[in-house]
Chains A and B, each alone.
Chain A
């Protein structure tokens, strides 16, 4: 079975500060990992994905994430937060050949002017 743990249900950062959203996964086989963003009253939009190629993955809107097998982590970062980054972020895991994508419980990011 696969699972994802997102540390911190709510994170606040100042505009211009580093954004770090934490995600740890559990998987008995090599995982595929995703980060999604959800703006209020909208669906989920794919930010980036890791599918066993480069361990540092760059996504949209300046976000990136690094796959660290030794730490079973896939943390999301952005060097400088913008007000428009305020949203809820979900980490998700699956594996090759699986039809099930398992989500974490989400982290709501607030950006303080």
Chain B
């Protein structure tokens, strides 16, 4: 089925460890996004990529890096995980005028 695929679905990290969250979309969308969801906070934008080869900071970029590998793939990296990065992470993509399509999320716990 067409959509946004995120891996892994669950991850537990120790403080200071690094990891990369993967995201791929097969809808030929130009723009892709990473959000984090925390209880009572809604979704907050971490980084986005308007098109292949470009990335920009969102509302809460500190502690994260991203790579737009190609048109399909947009990864999020935590270089040195902290407990404050415990969250649910969502990747999304957007085609002009059609609305955002979200992946099913990655639940990350940093201990």
Contact = CB atoms under 8 A, between A and B. Distances in A.
Chains A and B come from one and the same complex: yes
Interface of A: 9, 34, 36, 41-46, 49, 51, 90, 99-106
Interface of B: 4, 31, 33, 35, 40-45, 48, 50, 56, 58, 90, 92, 94, 97, 99-105
Given A43-B102, A46-B99, A100 B42 contact: no
Given A99-B48, A99-B56, A43 B90 contact: yes
Contacts, number: 50
Nearest to A90: B42
The dominant DSSP class at the A interface is: loop
B40 A9 contact: yes
A48 B90 CA distance: 20
Contacts of A103: 35, 42-44
A36 B41 CA distance: 15
29 contacts: A34-B100, A42-B104, A43-B90, A43-B102, A43-B103, A43-B104, A44-B43, A44-B92, A44-B102, A45-B102, A46-B99, A46-B101, A49-B99, A51-B97, A90-B43, A99-B31, A99-B33, A99-B50, A99-B94, A100-B58, A101-B33, A101-B45, A101-B94, A103-B35, A103-B44, A104-B42, A105-B40, A105-B42, A106-B42
